[in-house]
Structure 1
Amino acid sequence: MTTDFKKQVHEKLALFINQKGSQNKAANSLNGVSSALLSQIMNNNWENISETMWRNVASQIGHSSKEWVFVETTDFKIISKFLTDAQQNANVFAMTGDAGSGKSKSFDLYVSDNKNAYLLSCAEYWNRKEFLVQLLTSMGVDYSGFTVAEMMNEIVKKLKSQQNPLIILDEADKLPDTVLYFFITLYNRLEDHCGIILCATDHLSKRISKGIKLNRKGYKEINSRIGRKFIELKGVNYNDVTQICIANGVESTKDIKEIFNDSECDLRRVKRKIHAVKNRV
């Protein structure tokens, strides 16, 4: 492992700690990482830190040694606009976009650049307690021994003590109803104080519409709190792909057209195709 890699992690970690508000909060938001270890890294005491731990810290704070130049796509600009609005004005929005449109990366970058912004990448297996654990962890709060009610109260208390907090629930369509109802609780207890963003594929908007038609518990309340509207992202266009290709070393018009036509408007596929084009024999 090179010294340059360690220096890059050091720089990225400094930004991460600043974003979280303190070294202890940063450590609490990372799995298997102590505040003492962060102190060693920040104080350049690197001799006794294993390569495994360097990689662990790097991956959790979003650092990668692989070169890839990020480009601000059309959807990135739209997402950034609504995230800023939500955080600065305690607004609540719901947005939908296709898989591979760059939503999650846009959220990662926003959170890394803005204090008191917390991102949850939701999962199907989360129950009510796991949802709260994940939110407290992202906030850098020790939740040891807390009940579900105590965790919710702690979240509300901490967020109300902060200036312009923001919660981003990515892939919110994966949450079961019992957990999705927590959105209503968070809204009710943090209205006019905390911004909230729900984001997913269009499966979420279809789920909400169906739930309303079937008069399912909570769905009308959720729809009301998001302003009865889903913001639809525009998806990946040719100009986006062109900028990404040029930024990452592919400038041939022919190659760019090939990459776009093969991408199915999925940025993950764009990245794979750029790699393939650059490594042609």
Structure 2
Amino acid sequence: MERALKLKVSKELKYLVEIHGTKTISKKADIAPSTLESMLKESTKLVPNEIWEQTRLNLRMQLDWKVVEDSNLKRTVELLKAVQKNNMSIGICERAGAGKTETYKYYEREFVNVINVECGSQWTRKEFLKKMLRCAGLSPVGNSNRMMEKFIRHVRQMKKPLIIIDQADKLKDHALDLYIDMYNALSGKAGFVLSGADGFKKRIERGLKYGKVGFAELYSRLGQKFIQFGALTLEDVKLMCKANGMDDELTIAETFNKCGGDKRVVRRQIEKYILIKEKAA
């Protein structure tokens, strides 16, 4: 990793430590406190390259992209605050590219006591538990029961925790059952967000229709509804573009017309614009 990138990682670490504290960040990054201290001091030669890269990945840093407070992000942040404060449980279901994952990462970065998990499609029940523990800054060792007990015990000691299970639509049914187990153990002690793409709602509805085991219980714990994001507006796209280096009004308008409400398309268009601009300079 180049020194310039290491300095960006160090700068982001300083920001995170100021909000969350050294202990939390070292655990979530899976590095020793002494190593974190060296990184905060910008000791780029003392810390191996692989540790810098590991830290960047474990903390899901977006070093060359500025997340903006667009209309959806503002609304969702207020919703997440309410869920966290009142120990609520909600479901969010929205099309791919709407900005769900980006919003959850932003919330985890800016607010304390947030456990944010991005699910994988091939995860077993045990792999899901391991990821939950890692995202909570805990060591994922032992059998499934031991890991579950460890996670529950840890969350109960936290002050107003929020557990975000993102891309839950990727989970198999047996792994999704873990949400019910966690909710039952932590009801009134933690807030929960179960989030997925638009197909997730249809999957739950099919499960209800055909009486699949656990689906009625799951839906009940989500308040029997899914919350959706609003449509991406031209003003939202303008905010994204200008914050990340695209300042030509015509190009911004074209980007909005091409994106189809997909933030990932907007990002690709911005990155393409910046690349062409740099080559022409």
- Shared fold per TM-score greater than 0.5: yes
2:14 equivalent in structure 1: 14
2:254 equivalent in structure 1: 258
1:26 equivalent in structure 2: 25
The answer on whether the counterparts of 2:76 and 2:103 sit within 8 Å (CA) in structure 1 is yes
Counterpart CA distance in 1 for 2:262 and 2:139 is 38
Alignment of 1:115-194 (within 5 A): 115-144=112-141, 146-194=142-190
CA shift, 1:20, in A, is 5.3
Structure 1 counterpart of 2:201, which letter? S
Alignment of 1:259-278 (within 5 A): 259-278=255-274
Is the partner of 1:95 in helix, strand or coil? strand
The answer on whether the counterparts of 2:28 and 2:58 sit within 8 Å (CA) in structure 1 is no
Alignment of 1:168-247 (within 5 A): 168-247=164-243
Structure 2 residue runs without a partner (length 5+): none
Deviations 1:91-147 (A, max 9, x none): 011011111111111111111111210010001111111111111111111233x22
Change in CA separation of 1:14 and 1:275 when aligned onto 2, cut-off 3 Å = closer
Counterpart CA distance in 1 for 2:243 and 2:45 is 36
Counterpart CA distance in 1 for 2:241 and 2:18 is 32
CA shift, 1:166, in A, is 0.7
- Please, what TM-score do these two structures have when normalized by structure 2? 0.89
The answer on whether the counterparts of 2:7 and 2:42 sit within 8 Å (CA) in structure 1 is no
* Further displaced range: 69-78 or 196-205: 69-78
Counterpart CA distance in 1 for 2:111 and 2:66 is 21
Calculate the aligned-residue CA RMSD, in Å. Answer: 2.2
Counterpart CA distance in 1 for 2:40 and 2:248 is 43
Structure 1 counterpart of 2:13, which letter? L
Counterpart CA distance in 1 for 2:17 and 2:102 is 19
The answer on whether the counterparts of 2:92 and 2:227 sit within 8 Å (CA) in structure 1 is yes
The answer on whether the counterparts of 1:97 and 1:234 sit within 8 Å (CA) in structure 2 is no
Counterpart CA distance in 2 for 1:48 and 1:194 is 40
CA shift, 1:65, in A, is 4.4
* Further displaced range: 1-10 or 265-274: 1-10
Structure 2 counterpart of 1:130, which letter? E
Counterpart CA distance in 1 for 2:242 and 2:14 is 30
Deviations 1:220-265 (A, max 9, x none): 0011110001001113222211222233333333222211111121
Deviations 1:9-57 (A, max 9, x none): 223223434655543x5344335x3444223223554432233432332
Change in CA separation of 1:65 and 1:53 when aligned onto 2, cut-off 3 Å = same
Change in CA separation of 1:178 and 1:65 when aligned onto 2, cut-off 3 Å = closer
2:48 equivalent in structure 1: 50
Structure 1 residue runs without a partner (length 5+): none
- Please, what TM-score do these two structures have when normalized by structure 1? 0.89
**Are 2:92 and 1:95 equivalent residues in the alignment?**
yes
Change in CA separation of 1:39 and 1:193 when aligned onto 2, cut-off 3 Å = same
The answer on whether the counterparts of 1:172 and 1:200 sit within 8 Å (CA) in structure 2 is yes
Change in CA separation of 1:18 and 1:132 when aligned onto 2, cut-off 3 Å = farther
The percent of aligned pairs where both chains have the same amino acid is 28
1:59 equivalent in structure 2: 57
Change in CA separation of 1:218 and 1:19 when aligned onto 2, cut-off 3 Å = farther
Is the partner of 2:194 in helix, strand or coil? strand
